[in-house]
Structures are given as structure tokens and as C-alpha cells.
A and B are shown apart, each in its own frame.
Chain A
């Protein structure tokens, strides 16, 4: 490809948006943004903008999908046609179907599903603007939305990606870095329990690099986790301040 030799790291060791390699983008998290959903959240990570809505637990339709011992989670990851540079068809693509599954599986271990047999919890994730790491932003938003819906959870799920561009490991990959870099590795975890719920690797990393990458990204996840907790509490503290 023509862009293989694109300089993504400046001579000073900074990235194209001026970040240090181990720096994540600014994250803005807001909880309870959608009136009609049982729980919702909005996450803005740099130029990646995501809405998540949670409905349920509610009755399952069609009935045969219900499980007699636990709740079922359904997840839909969807990119709006205007979220990328060239219009994306609104129909679910192969990639979106895969990401829906991946996000569902990243959230499932956190939720106490056995408390709601015969029911379904619907998670809708809508990408408003995509600039890399959308699945991580989606997981952050979805887990906030689940918590704000009052669904019992073992822990919040935090997520972050790590990549390799021009031979340097970088946190929180942007679209350009993903497309022109060598590696993209998203990871989701429950920081309090130290359990990884999602790990994907697109590219090639040596064992040492992998270990270093995981250490970097789990540190970032803990940072994001603290912000998630603050975002959830902020909603209630704000109301208290008004009085």
C-alpha cells in the first residue's frame, strides 16, 4: 500500500494528533441521555461518538429465544450512514454483525443474568461518528447504560485499544493509525475482578510486545473505569447540588 511509510510518529515521538504513545484521547461520558430507554449513555472519545441504550429486562419476543435459567442479552452495534467519510449503507454489514456479537460477549460475564430467567436485555449501540476504537467506546457506553438501567452487574466493563504504528506501541488507536499502522488490539476487562472479557488482535506482535501492550492497555482500562464510576455518580450528585 502507498501509505506504508506514512510518518505516524514524529521525530519527537509524538503521534499525529500530538498525543504521547501511552496517552488516551479525552473521554466525555454522560449517563441517562435518552428519555425512552431504561438506561442510556453517551461517550465521546476524541472524534468517536457513541450512544448506547438499554431496554429491559423485558419479555422475550419471539418466545422461543427465552432461556429458562437466565436472561438473554441481545446487542445491536450499528453505524449511522454519516458516521464515516463515505456514506455507509444503513443495513447491517458483516462487520457490524460480528461487532454486535463481540460486544455482547464482552458484556455478558458482567451481568447477573440468572436473576431474570425468561427475559431479555436489549442493548443498542449507535455510532454517530467513527474515528477508531469504536468497539471499545461502545463497550464503555453499553456498560454505563446497563448500570444506569439498574441491571445487577458484578462490575463495570472498561475497554481500550492498543496498536503498533511505525514500530511503536500506542494506546487508544485512531482511524488513521488503525488503517496505516501495523497492529490494532482492542481489550475489554472488568478492572475490579481483573478479568478480561474481550481481546482481539489484528496484526502481528512478538511475545514481549504483547505483554507490554496488555500492561499498557490494562492500565488505561483502570483509568477509564474510574471515569465511568465518576460519570455514574455525577448524575446523582448533580441533582443534589441543585438543591
Chain B
């Protein structure tokens, strides 16, 4: 579907990336139509990352505020991470040197705690599996392709993890962190991820990736 294309006429729920006018529902972006439980929505094939509360994202520290860090989360909105999550409770956030705890350029896995389109996103690291990322490599893909990379219940990313033995963290914002036992395996994982990104809208991709990974590993 492309913007402005008619999706349906009549009494349907208006899902994401659609709009209703005079009883007709139109698409507002390039994507694939999905119909579930009376709601029509379009799954976009392209587009910017828009933060959503609860999303796990990967951010890079870019700046300090008096009591917080500013992170780049590959979006047109900046993300803010409160420094009080790192500074010990007995010390004042205001007098401490924030660079002691987290420096510019460091990579963090965070969760979006608060967001609306009128203000910056607020992140938190206070949860399981969140925090600083050390070593490994960071790659960036089109955020619209992330759902495909994760696959049904994580099938795609788990396959790549299993076949390459790499640790992979997928941020909803399009940043992906890979750490493997050797650079060769990281290369392979990156190659597989790039393939998923390029061919996200084709069917039978999981099988293709599996055979590709097995061939490459053998050779």
C-alpha cells in the first residue's frame, strides 16, 4: 500500500498508519496491510523511529545536563537518562562529576519510561538486562525492519544467535549490538542482519537465513 490508497470501506477499526474519512479507510504510508479483529492497520516498510513506552532501545551518550545524560536513540527526539540512577544515594547529583559514571560515547541499553510527541523521551536503566554495553560492535539498520529481524516470538534473532554463537541485543530504534567469540562470527551475524534488512518483506526468509548461515560457517 502507498499513501492515500483506499484500504476498506465500512465499519472497521482504524489501526496505526491509517486514517478514516467519510467512512473510508486510507493508508498513510508505504507498507503492508494487516487485518486483525476488525481493525485495519498498515505495517510500514520505511520510516523514522518513534519512541514507545516500554520499548527496549540502545542509545549513545552524547551530552550532559545538570542532572541527566542525553542519549542519541536514532530518532528525531532526544532521550534523557536521569543521572540519579547511577550516582550513589548519599552523594548529590548536582555536585558529582557525571562523567565519572557514564561518559560521552558510551552505549547503553535502556527502556523508554515516558514519552509523548511534545517532549523528549525519558529512559530508564532500572530493570533486568538493562545497562552499559562493553565491547562488541554497534550496527544501525532501518528501524522499520526491526519487527522482521526479531521475527515471530524472536525466531529470527534467536536463529542468528544460535548459528553464530554471538550475543545480540536488538534495540527497537534500529541500533543493534553484537558481541561474538571472534570477529569472524560477528561479521557473519552482521551479514545475516543486513540480509534480513534488505529482504524484510519477502516470505520464507527464516529458512533462507538458516541455510545461508550454515553454508558460510562450513566454508
Q: Which residues of A contact B (CB under 8 A)?
A: 38-39, 56-59, 68, 110, 112, 115-119, 147-156, 190, 192-193, 228-229, 232-233, 236, 239-240, 243
Contacts and interface: CB of A to CB of B under 8 A. Distances in A.
Given A119-B76, A150-B144, A155 B3 contact: yes
A147 B202 contact: no
Task: Say what secondary structure dominates the interface of chain A.
Answer: mixed
B46 A150 contact: yes
Nearest to B117: A117
B5 interface: yes
A152 B76 contact: no
A153 B201 contact: no
Contacts, number: 83
Given A115-B117, A116-B117, A153 B76 contact: no
Contacts of B84: none
11 contacts: A59-B76, A119-B76, A147-B29, A148-B30, A150-B46, A150-B144, A152-B28, A154-B26, A155-B26, A190-B4, A229-B2
B144 A243 contact: no
B55 interface: no
B199 A243 contact: yes
B210 to A, nearest CB: 15
Interface of B: 2-6, 17, 19, 26, 28-30, 44-48, 76, 78, 117-118, 144, 198-199, 201-202, 204, 208
Contacts of A115: 117
Nearest to B116: A117
A149 B30 CA distance: 9
Contacts of A149: 46-47
Nearest to B32: A236
A239 B201 contact: yes
B25 to A, nearest CB: 12
A39 B144 CA distance: 14
A151 B47 contact: yes
Contact of B44 (A68, A150, A192, A193): A150
Contact of B29 (A59, A152, A228): A152
Nearest to A239: B199
B6 A232 contact: no
B4 A155 contact: yes
Contacts of B199: 239, 243
Looking at B3, B28, B78, B117, the one whose CB has the most chain A CB atoms below 10 A away is B3
A57 B6 CA distance: 25
